[in-house]
Amino acid sequence: MTQEHSAARPFGQLITAMVTPFASDGALDLDGVQRLAAYLVDEQGNDALVINGTTGESPTTTDGEKEAAVRAVAEAVGDRAKVIAGVGTNDTRHTIELALAAEKAGAHGLLVVTPYYNKPPQAGLERHFTAVADASGLPILLYDIPHRSGVPIETETLVRLAAHDRIVGVKDAKGDLTATSWVLARTDLAFYCGDDSGTLPSLAVGAVGIVGTSTHFTGALTKQMIQAYARGDVAEALALHRRLLPMFTGVFRTQGTILVKAGLAVRGLPAGPVRSPLVDATPEQVERLRADAAAAGLDLGGAA
């Protein structure tokens, strides 16, 4: 295995949670899905892509659209990048159905978010994740994001789940580096930072990479930052972290999907509108994103 896809880095170092391109009428744009995936892999250097994550508007795409998007990305870039399908819901049976469909469609791995809104206890989380891992043959990243799901995956739960052969890592958006450190000290789980601006601090406690949003634009430089840290050039990694901060944070001035799609449209890449209840970026928000990109030394392109 290469350094980028080793046992310690099951999905490489740089992963982008890809937006889902739609046509002007809101329909799924499968050609755009493939072109955007190719851009992210070939130009931004992604080792893997998450399809049908929250950034991919999974709450408002159908099961059929999700399966079609995974298949399209696997066909477009599956020979040179890992395809990770977001399959998490707040219903274990539905999550398993999506996992099996994604596996059939060509996914290489699964991202399974903590069941949201119904706030299951830790025993319920353990049962949920184990059931999905038992049902599919694919490696799984757990997605720990309590500020959206309402419930954290506690340290002891993560340690127990790490014993499952197919639970290989975590997309960590908990924002608690002490808890992360305890899990990393006690398991072999691969942690991927789920908060773009927290990537460098996460690397310092043992994370292996990022599942990013701003990486639609910052991917190549973010990967340089990760690789600089990995080879011991902390000063270079810190310089890149500070350079990229305006974009690491800027894409979240409103909901991340909104500004990523706006920035991609400026760059002339497939994106299209967002689906309700999201709303498309205002001209003022687009100009602010341009300014954030410029502050990071990046040019979104397009007419000013």
- Which positions are annotated as active-site residues? 143, 171
Contacts 24+ apart (CB under 8 A), 1-7: 4/47, 5/47, 5/82
Which tokens in the block code for residue 60?
Answer: 């408002």
| Gap between the Cα atoms of 130 and 157, Å rounded | 11
List CB contacts of 175: < 8 A, sequence separation 6 or more. 147, 195, 198
Residue with tokens 């757990």, as numbered in its chain: 142
Helix H segments across the chain? 30-42, 63-77, 92-105, 122-135, 146-149, 155-161, 177-186, 199-204, 215-230, 234-250, 256-267, 283-295
How far is residue 21 CA from its own chain's centroid? 16
User: 84 near 55, Cβ under 8 Å?
Assistant: no
Give CA–CA dist 62/79, Å, rounded: 26
Instruction: Using the Cα atoms of residue 279, residue 67, residue 196 and residue 175 in order, give the sign of their dihedral.
Output: positive
